[in-house]
Amino acid sequence: MSAIGALGRRLYRGEVNVDFVGRYKLWATLSGVLLLISILGLVIQGLNLGIEFRGGSVFSFDKPAASSIADVRDTVEAVGGHQVIVQEAGTRWRVTTQSLPEQGVTKVADAISAKYGVPDNQISKQIIGATWGGEVLNKAIIGLIVFMIAIILYLTLAFEWKMALAAVVALIHDLVITAGIYAWSGFEVTPATMLGFLTILGYSLYDAVVVFDMIKEVTAKLGTTAKMTYTEAANNALNHTLIRSLNTSLVAILPVAAILFIGTTLFGAGTLKDLSLALFVGMIVGTYSSLCVATPLLANLKEREPKYLAIAKRVHANRVAASKDAASPGKAKGKEPAAASTSTSGSANGSVATGKRKKR
């Protein structure tokens, strides 16, 4: 049985125990580097905003008999028009490109008249403003800020403020990294991309909330006599929902991956690619962040509470004593909490530990 196969089997049965929370330093470094790169990208490269945000140039001319949308698009793109949109407007073609300088406009007009024999004075050239400019963008940003506040309030009520904070940090983490990828790749940011960001926003929070709900349930059982620390309990909960997280992510990412694949291979540029890239990256980062950013951050915040400090101290003392007794060196961090756990998964492990051991 290959290692991957074995892993698959364990995943299938839901028996994994990865120390996510304990490795927060690794995650912090990884996320820190990713965030730094992203922010650098946003600052140095900036986002390649589409004509919906920046406005553009519009050409319109009578439709010659032998011309098609693809045809016109190729003609305009060949002379340097970017983000070319060709529309039929009655008996005319309407071509929208990124804002062009004066020479650019002349070049496009020349190309059109050369190709289709339309006299230059019959090509109307206009400048179009942003449909997603000022007001629309401002209101969307205001909406986002209000949403963040509403979410913090809601999660504080449903859980507690530390969870709310951790979830929102993870959310911002996801959005910044996704935006960073757009900055570095130079992919055009269109309204479709923005809507993709919104989907990520919902997805990232949704994922974090499901994980936190389980953490809340598991850690609620930690009394003063608890045999594991908050960090370990949180980790336990995380492993408990790991299957769910992975399954959910897979199920959500599969359609997006299909769209991204078809969007890039079959169509090159366009809405499909813009949107699905944002979703694809955002969902992967979202899954990662709910496991490796939100939860470790939460555990770190919680461990500072006197109650959990006390538990951690006592658990540690017990462990030292136990390891001396058993004279078993080495790190047992991963299995001990599970073996001694009072949590759901722990007791499950204890109660059905028969016979299965031989399977592997």
Site for other proteins in 222-261 (CB under 8 A): 240-244, 247-248, 250-259, 261
Q: Which two tokens stand for residue 274?
A: 């813009």
Among 1, 3, 44, 65, binds other proteins (CB under 8 A): 3
Among 33, 36, 114, 266, binds other proteins (CB under 8 A): 266
Within 318-337, the residues that bind other proteins by CB under 8 A are: 334-335
Q: Is 29 in the site for other proteins (CB under 8 A)?
A: no
DSSP state of 355: S
Q: How far is the CB of 175 from other proteins (least distance, A)?
A: 13
* Separation of CA 298 from chain center: 19
143 vs 140: CA distance, rounded Å: 5
- Residues 216, 182 contacting (CB under 8 angstroms): no
Q: How far is the CB of 44 from other proteins (least distance, A)?
A: 28
Q: How far is the CB of 189 from other proteins (least distance, A)?
A: 13
Q: Is 342 in the site for other proteins (CB under 8 A)?
A: no
* DSSP three-state, residue 137: helix
Q: Is 172 in the site for other proteins (CB under 8 A)?
A: no
Strand (E) or helix (H) holding 49: strand 48-49
Q: Residue holding tokens 């959990």?
A: 308
Among 49, 105, 277, 279, binds other proteins (CB under 8 A): 279
Q: How far is the CB of 262 from other proteins (least distance, A)?
A: 4
**Beta-ladder partners of 144:** none
Q: How far is the CB of 74 from other proteins (least distance, A)?
A: 13
Output 7 or 317, the one with its CB closest to other proteins.
Answer: 7
59 vs 76: CA distance, rounded Å: 10
Residues 6+ away with beta carbon under 8 Å from 138: none
Q: Is 263 in the site for other proteins (CB under 8 A)?
A: yes
Q: Is 129 in the site for other proteins (CB under 8 A)?
A: yes
Within 177-216, the residues that bind other proteins by CB under 8 A are: 191-192, 194-196, 198-199, 201-203, 205-206, 209-210, 213-214
Provide φ and ψ at 84, rounded to 5°: -80, 130
Q: How far is the CB of 313 from other proteins (least distance, A)?
A: 24
Q: How far is the CB of 209 from other proteins (least distance, A)?
A: 5
Output 58 or 226, the one with its CB closest to other proteins.
Answer: 58
Output 104 or 270, the one with its CB closest to other proteins.
Answer: 270
Output 36 or 69, the one with its CB closest to other proteins.
Answer: 69
- Residues 236, 327 contacting (CB under 8 angstroms): no
Among candidates 341, 348, 347, which has minimal Cα distance to 232?
341
- CA-to-CA separations, 306 to 24, 69, 224, 302, in angstroms, rounded: 21, 68, 11, 9
Within 90-119, the residues that bind other proteins by CB under 8 A are: 90, 92, 94, 96
Q: What b/e string do you get for 19-34 counting C-beta neighbours within 10 Å, with b at 16 or more? A: bbbbebeebeeebeeb
* DSSP three-state, residue 246: helix
Among candidates 10, 12, 31, 9, which has minimal Cα distance to 20?
31
Q: How far is the CB of 146 from other proteins (least distance, A)?
A: 5
Among candidates 242, 256, 243, 244, which has minimal Cα distance to 284?
256
Output 114 or 157, the one with its CB closest to other proteins.
Answer: 157
Output 78 or 250, the one with its CB closest to other proteins.
Answer: 250
Among 58, 112, 175, 179, binds other proteins (CB under 8 A): 58
Binding-site size for other proteins (CB under 8 A) equals: 109
* DSSP three-state, residue 56: strand
Within 287-316, the residues that bind other proteins by CB under 8 A are: none
Q: Is 139 in the site for other proteins (CB under 8 A)?
A: yes
